Structure 1
Amino acid sequence: MTNASRNAGLRGVAALVEKMNAALRTIATPSLTQLVLRCALAVPFWRSGVNKWDGFLQLNDVAVLLFRSELKLHLPGGPYDFPAPTLVALASGSAEILLPILLVLGLGTRLAAFGLLLMTLVIQLTVPDGWPLHITWAAMALGIMAWGPGRISLDSLFRRAVYLN
């Protein structure tokens, strides 16, 4: 095989790879990626939040019991009980419902992601062995905070409406 034919073959492979990359960039647009990232972060918090409620504004007894007797903060010198466990259960359950909704809608997206990042930090202090999952949640929250909600969001829609007027 001559150098010319080898180079032609390599150029053909390079052209094919570039066509595949262009097709993938068309499919995985930044806005679609940001939407999927927002939804992926919202799901585990939403599922946890739904389990804390028995009905509309009706926190279930199990959620309060967990914060009162089972869940502990693993800080130096601890573990320590959660302060005001009923209030913490209410705040946690409310945030786990509200913040994922805001995240999926892309409304107040960076603030919602920051709230879930703070919740992730508290969860890490509560369940220290869960760090492989928690670091994934933290990375997703930080990515959303850094790159924003994308064009498929209410934040973007409102921003465009303001700039048009």
Structure 2
Amino acid sequence: MTLRSIIARSEALIASLPAPLVLLVLRIALAVPFFRSGLTKWDAPLVLAPSQAFLFGQEFRLHILGNAYPYPFPTLAAYLAATGEIVLPILLVLGLGTRFAALGILLMTAVIQLTVPEGWANFHLPWAAMALALMAYGAGRLSVDGLLANRTPAMTPKGSHG
């Protein structure tokens, strides 16, 4: 067996990974860091940890064009971030509204990038890449989206025969 044939067989084996499984792993990989972060933001259901309002109001800044600006409506921003970090990962793992959940994560990543600019290479870029892949390819068959797509009858325009 030649090196070329070993490489070709290896590539074929890797390429044979089922796309639904790969997309499931991708959804989980993107969901985990956000969900874990979200868990730290709540003292109880619907009770935001006081530290979060403090961080968004006093510590966090948006770094834009070389300047640091305070968050507008910091308490609202804290609630939105904390809610997004719980709800969006759950939607991703379930594969429900996956493209929109991934878009939400991408938007959160952009805001996080503005808040913590030095995190781009280790965190923000991989998160953005995963979110973009899910936005482009969807959740796959191992998801609520996939189940709904299989159960929804195809709609045809009135008067068409197809």
Specify which of 82, 104, 108 is matched with residue 115 of structure 1. 104
Matches for 1:72-87 after TM superposition, within 5 Å: 72-76=61-65, 78-87=67-76
Cα distance in 2 between the residues matched to 1:131 and 1:57: 30
Moved more, 142-151 or 109-118: 142-151
User: Which residue number corresponds to residue 21 of structure 1?
Assistant: 11
Structure 1 segments (4+ residues) deviating >2 Å: 13-26
Cα distance in 2 between the residues matched to 1:48 and 1:161: 35
Cα distance in 1 between the residues matched to 2:10 and 2:40: 43
Cα distance in 1 between the residues matched to 2:153 and 2:11: 33
User: Which residue number corresponds to residue 146 of structure 2?
Assistant: 156
Cα distance in 1 between the residues matched to 2:51 and 2:152: 45
- Partner AA of 1:140 in structure 2: M
RMSD over aligned Cα atoms: 1.8
Corresponding residue SS for 1:79: strand
Corresponding residue SS for 1:74: strand
Specify which of 82, 103, 106 is matched with residue 95 of structure 2. 106
Corresponding residue SS for 2:67: coil
Matches for 1:62-101 after TM superposition, within 5 Å: 62-76=51-65, 78-101=67-90
Structure 1 unpaired stretches of 5+: 1-8
Question: CA offsets per residue over residues 32-79 of structure 1, 9 Å max, x none?
Answer: 111111111111110111100001101010111100101000112621
Structure 2 unpaired stretches of 5+: 156-162
* Alpha-carbon spacing, 1:77–1:21, altered in 2? closer, same or farther (3 Å): closer
Which structure has the bigger radius of gyration? 1
Equivalenced residues, count: 154
Q: Which has the higher helix share?
A: 1
- Partner AA of 1:162 in structure 2: T
User: Which residue number corresponds to residue 27 of structure 2?
Assistant: 38
Alignment pair present for 1:51 and 2:17: no
Matches for 1:117-132 after TM superposition, within 5 Å: 117-132=106-121
Cα distance in 2 between the residues matched to 1:111 and 1:41: 14
Q: TM-score, normalising length from structure 1? A: 0.86
